[in-house]
Structure 1
Amino acid sequence: MDDLIAALDIGGTKTQLILEQVGGGRVLDVTEPSLEWDAEPEPAAAKWIAERVRRHTPNGARIVSLAFGAQGINRSETGQNLERELAALGYATTAVNDASLIVAAAGFSQGIGVIAGTGAIAVGADADGRFLSSGGWGWVIGDEGSAAGLVREATRAALRANDEGRPDDGLLGHLLADFGVADAERLTRRVNDDPTVDNWAPHAPAVFAAAEAGSALADAVITDGARHLAELVRQLRNRGAVGSDVVVAGSVIVNQPRLLDAFRRSVAEHDQSASVHVLREPPVTGAVMLARSALTK
């Protein structure tokens, strides 16, 4: 019987599952939709995970260590409950928030992970290993520095300047073109009538394009978003998060140098000892490392 490890990255839209032999050979790497995923109630969530692992486990193989990061594990108790439920189903498990994977994926045993993609959140752990998080409030009231948050704040800034009678410095024009509307009033309706990530987040590149073209408003929105992301790091530090390494991931901060550079500057203002790293590996790599680490304990 082959002994395997299982590693999952369970996000809001998709789940990546990797199976590897204990000796290191890759058996499976598959991505599926995260349909109906919810970390709570834990018994149902554990069955959701176990069903996917079982479906892809080869006949005659045995999972000896399972690790995953999942959206919705925002309290240590939730992760611990999931570990117990999966143990009852036959899986020795390590469960963490999906953002926690990026620190391990970057090769660090401790530090702070910051995700700025569709949404925004920062996570870490204190000296006793207790999970800490900051941000992640959602695009309607928070997630500053994320794709959706930047579009929300850019729209507010452009509309405010328009109401004040100021000439467009390029931000409004970029937003109008990207949303495919003719004027500010129609932009207001287009944004408000569908206040969803699917409607807002895809237009983030227009904000960066406006900044590159010289829009001071767009640049200020991006800089402010970076400050908010750095503030998440400061908040976690103040609450006891350990580790001087800050690992960033997410489509926006990784692919937009203007946001990343502003984030680096803002972090340095709070903490000269912090070192910012960009994650180049898929986050699920962190789950692989956690699963392998558990074998040695």
Structure 2
Amino acid sequence: MNDQSFHLLAVDGGGTKTLAVITDSTGSILGEGKAGASNYQVIGKELAIKALVASIQGALAEAAALNGGPVRFEKTVFALAGIDTSNDELEVQEMVEESIKQLGLATHMLLVENDCLSALLGATQNKAGALLISGTGSIVFAHDGRGNFFRTGGWGYRVGDEGSGYWIGKEAIRSIMKMNDGREKETILSQLILQKFGFQKIEDLYNWVYSPAYCVDDVGALTALVEEAYKLGDKVSQGILDEAAAELTLLLETTIEKAGIAKEEFQLILQGGVIQNNHYIRDRVLDSLKTSAERVKVLDTDQKPITFIIKRGLNL
């Protein structure tokens, strides 16, 4: 059987889904496969490996590369969430190598790195830039254009993710508990969130928070209700959005200062449902940057992270 050769395998793996694509040398997609989460911090190494293997198998099948012959790639990029420490690097490298082994793949060049960093370098073509993500979680990466990168935040929902969808939802729930105590003025926010979950009283919300049914994604989804309440004139909700914007601004300004690019021209990429769709937060963050980073150029794009990861791979 003849070897089959492809130019690039790019994998974008996160806490909810994994996407693998095979492309030619121009970046045209030949095959695509999807699977569940591959962040080992969320689901463990065994399930993460299964997701990586399943997503790549899907891409191979779509690219008609499952005839039993060896499959070779010129370049392979695994851009994965959960690479936050030196120990993570070792753990994830083992996962990737095991996935490649199970699939019987060969690659001339292999890169394994944090998904946010990979997307940033792909989007800016290795020039100075920053990537601010605020979706369910939050994180900022910056690159100085000279091979050095810097990170702020991204420490997860338990101890970080300030300004994220989860953080906003959590602050909304905290405010409702304060309303129940009389420490906060009663507002429409309480009514909207109880209706969202179908709860009759605050006690039902409290019981849910400490039950197995409690879900980070469900809390993050409350951001839309906070925005709705703000548009209805709710000052408590406006205060939460103001704090979220301030936290994201702090994340961003801290990172570009560490990277030494605050006074330089650099691109800023905004990703994640909160920073892309909540215009109140977005506008406040960008207004703050007018004084701290006068030469920033905001890259407005609806492109998915995998697009930037493909670019990252093509330019290796």
Under TM normalisation by the shorter chain, which class is it?
Answer: 0.7 to 0.9
State the one-letter code of the partner of 1:207: V
TM-score by length of 2: 0.79
1:97 aligned partner: 114
TM-score by length of structure 1 reads 0.83
**In the alignment, what sits opposite 1:8?**
11
1:33-182 superposed matches below 5 A? 33-34=36-37, 37=40, 49=52, 53=56, 56-57=59-60, 58=65, 59=67, 61-75=71-85, 86=97, 90-91=106-107, 92-104=109-121, 106-109=123-126, 110-126=128-144, 128-164=146-182, 167-182=185-200
Question: Which deviates the most, 19-28 or 245-254?
Answer: 19-28
SS of alignment partner, residue 221 of structure 2: helix
- Residue in 1 aligned with 2:295? 273
Unmatched tracts of structure 1, length 5 or more: none
Selected match of 2:33 from 8, 30, 34: 30
1:179 to 1:268, Cα distance in 2 relative to 1, 3 A: farther
Structure 1, 26-35 or 80-89: larger mean CA deviation: 80-89
For structure 2, the 5+ residue unaligned runs are none
Distance, in Å, in 1 between the alignment partners of 2:151 and 2:184 is 40
CA displacement, residues 59-106 of structure 1 (integer Å, 9 cap, x when unaligned): 455211011311012247855886797599742122221122443454
Counterpart residue number, 2:258:
239
Within 2, Cα distance between the matches of 1:130 and 1:44?
32
CA contact under 8 A between 2:149 and 2:259: conserved in structure 1?
no
2:238 to 219, 226, 238: 219
- Counterpart CA distance in 2 for 1:276 and 1:200 is 29
**Per-residue CA distance 1:121-166 (angstroms, 9 max, x = gap):** 1112345524422111222332122111101112222332443365
Q: What is the Cα deviation at residue 54 of structure 1? A: 5.9
Which deviates the most, 158-167 or 194-203?
158-167
Q: Which amino acid in 2 is paired with 1:228?
A: E
Give percent identity, aligned residues only: 23
Which stretch shifts more, 10-19 or 276-285?
276-285
Q: CA deviation at 1:201?
A: 1.7
Deviates more, 1:66-75 or 1:94-103: 94-103
Given the superposition, is the C-alpha separation of residues 155 and 189 from structure 1 closer, same or farther in structure 2, using an over 3 Å criterion?
A: same
